[in-house]
Structure 1
Amino acid sequence: MNEIEAKDKQYVWHPFTQMQEWVAQPQMVIEAAEGIKLIDSEGHQYYDGVSSLWVNIHGHRHPKIDQAIVDQLGKVAHTTMLGLVNVPATQLAEELMAVVPKGLTKLFYSDDGSTAVEIAIKMAYQYWQLKGKSKKQKFVTLANAYHGDTVGTVSVGGIDLFHRIFSSLLFESIQAPCPSCYHCQLSSDPEQCGMLCIDQVEKILAEHHEEIAAMIVEPLVQAAAGMLTQPKGYLKKLRELTAKYNVLFLVDEVATGFGRTGKMFACDHEDVSPDFMMVAKGITGGYLPLAATFMTDEIYNAFLGDYTQQRTFFHGHSYTGNPLCCAAGLANLEIFREEQVIESLQEKIAAATTKLTAFKQLKHVGEVRQQGLMIGIELAENPEKKIPFSWNMAVGAKVCKKTREYGLIIRPIGSVVVFMPPLISTVVEIEHMIDIIYRSIQDVTETKQDQYDDEEVAAVLI
Structure 2
Amino acid sequence: MSEPRLNDPHAPLNRTWMQRDLNALWHPCTQMKDHEHYPLIPVRRGEGVWLEDMAGQHYLDAISSWWVNILGHANPRINAKLRTQMNKLEHVILSGFTHEPVIQLSERLGRITPEGLGHCFYGDNGSAAIEIALKMSLHYWRNIGRPEKRRFLTITNGYHGETVGALSVSDLGLYAAPYESLLFDVLKVPSPDCFGLPREQWDEHAARMFVHMEQAVAQHAHELAAVILEPLVQCAGGMRMYPPSYLTRLRALCDHHGVQLIVDEIAVGFGRTGTLFACEQAGIRPDYLCLSKALTGGYLPLSVVLTTDQIYDAFYDDYTTMKAFLHSHSYTGNALACATALATLDILEEDDVIAGNRHRAQRMAAAAETFRTHPHVGDVRQTGMIVAIEMVKDKASLTPFPFEERRGMRAYEVALAHGVLLRPLGNVLYWMPPYIISDDEIDHLAEVTALALEAATAS
What corresponds to 1:382 in structure 2? 394
What corresponds to 2:213 in structure 1? 201
What corresponds to 1:123 in structure 2? 136
Q: 1:337: Cα distance to partner?
A: 1.3
Is this contact kept in 1: 2:203–2:245, CA < 8 A?
no
Distance 1:14 1:183, change over 3 A: farther
Q: Distance in 1 between matches of 2:372 and 2:196?
A: 18
User: What do you get for the CA RMSD once the two structures are aligned?
Assistant: 1.4
Matches within 5 A, 1:9-158: 9-23=22-36, 25-158=38-171
Letter in 1 for 2:228: I
Task: Give the secondary-structure state (helix, strand or coil) at the position aligned to 1:98.
Answer: helix
Q: Is 1:241 the counterpart of 2:239 in the alignment? A: no
Q: Which moved more, 1:25-34 or 1:207-216?
A: 25-34
Is this contact kept in 2: 1:102–1:273, CA < 8 A?
yes
Once the two structures are superposed, residues 45-70 of structure 1 have per-residue CA deviations (whole angstroms, 9 ceiling, x without a partner) of: 11010100000011011111001111
Once the two structures are superposed, residues 385-424 of structure 1 have per-residue CA deviations (whole angstroms, 9 ceiling, x without a partner) of: 1111011110011112111111110211111112100011
| TM-score, with structure 2 as normaliser | 0.94
Is this contact kept in 2: 1:283–1:290, CA < 8 A?
yes
What corresponds to 2:361 in structure 1? 349
Distance 1:192 1:26, change over 3 A: closer
Is this contact kept in 1: 2:367–2:442, CA < 8 A?
no
Task: Give the secondary-structure state (helix, strand or coil) at the position aligned to 1:385.
Answer: coil
Matches within 5 A, 1:260-339: 260-339=272-351
Q: Distance in 1 between matches of 2:138 and 2:299?
A: 32
What corresponds to 1:414 in structure 2? 426
Unaligned runs of 5+ in 2: 1-11
Task: Give the secondary-structure state (helix, strand or coil) at the position aligned to 1:233.
Answer: helix
Once the two structures are superposed, residues 321-362 of structure 1 have per-residue CA deviations (whole angstroms, 9 ceiling, x without a partner) of: 000000101100110111110111111111111221111121
Q: Distance in 2 between matches of 1:260 and 1:302?
A: 33
Q: Which moved more, 1:88-97 or 1:216-225?
A: 88-97
Q: 1:182: Cα distance to partner?
A: 2.3
Once the two structures are superposed, residues 416-438 of structure 1 have per-residue CA deviations (whole angstroms, 9 ceiling, x without a partner) of: 11210001112222222122112
Q: 1:24: Cα distance to partner?
A: 5.4
Letter in 1 for 2:166: T
Is this contact kept in 1: 2:293–2:303, CA < 8 A?
yes
From 18, 21, 39, give the equivalent of 1:5: 18
Task: Give the secondary-structure state (helix, strand or coil) at the position aligned to 1:13.
Answer: coil
Q: Distance in 1 between matches of 2:16 and 2:211?
A: 58
Is this contact kept in 2: 1:362–1:442, CA < 8 A?
no
Q: Distance in 1 between matches of 2:109 and 2:38?
A: 44
Q: Which moved more, 1:245-254 or 1:405-414?
A: 405-414
Q: Distance in 2 between matches of 1:341 and 1:103?
A: 25
Q: 1:164: Cα distance to partner?
A: 1.4
Letter in 2 for 1:216: I
Q: Distance in 1 between matches of 2:93 and 2:46?
A: 31
Once the two structures are superposed, residues 123-149 of structure 1 have per-residue CA deviations (whole angstroms, 9 ceiling, x without a partner) of: 000000011111100000110010000
After the TM superposition, list the runs of 4 or more consecutive aligned residues in structure 1 that deviate by more than 3 angstroms: 23-26
What corresponds to 1:426 in structure 2? 438
Distance 1:95 1:148, change over 3 A: same
Q: Which moved more, 1:355-364 or 1:124-133?
A: 355-364
Is this contact kept in 2: 1:57–1:424, CA < 8 A?
yes
Q: Distance in 2 between matches of 1:3 and 1:113?
A: 33
Task: Give the secondary-structure state (helix, strand or coil) at the position aligned to 2:145.
Answer: coil
Letter in 1 for 2:417: E
Q: Is 1:396 the counterpart of 2:424 in the alignment? A: no
Q: 1:444: Cα distance to partner?
A: 2.6
Q: 1:191: Cα distance to partner?
A: 3.2
What corresponds to 1:179 in structure 2? 192
Q: Is 1:166 the counterpart of 2:179 in the alignment? A: yes
What corresponds to 2:4 in structure 1? none
Q: 1:3: Cα distance to partner?
A: 3.9
Task: Give the secondary-structure state (helix, strand or coil) at the position aligned to 1:103.
Answer: coil
Q: 1:25: Cα distance to partner?
A: 4.8
Task: Give the secondary-structure state (helix, strand or coil) at the position aligned to 2:274.
Answer: coil
Q: Which moved more, 1:56-65 or 1:17-26?
A: 17-26
Q: Which moved more, 1:367-376 or 1:429-438?
A: 429-438
Q: Distance in 2 between matches of 1:388 and 1:24?
A: 24
From 370, 374, 379, give the equivalent of 2:382: 370
Letter in 2 for 1:276: Y
Once the two structures are superposed, residues 271-304 of structure 1 have per-residue CA deviations (whole angstroms, 9 ceiling, x without a partner) of: 1111000000000011110000000111100001
Q: Distance in 2 between matches of 1:435 and 1:47?
A: 12
Q: Distance in 1 between matches of 2:339 and 2:281?
A: 28
Q: Distance in 2 between matches of 1:95 and 1:108?
A: 14
Is this contact kept in 2: 1:9–1:23, CA < 8 A?
no
Q: Distance in 2 between matches of 1:82 and 1:227?
A: 38
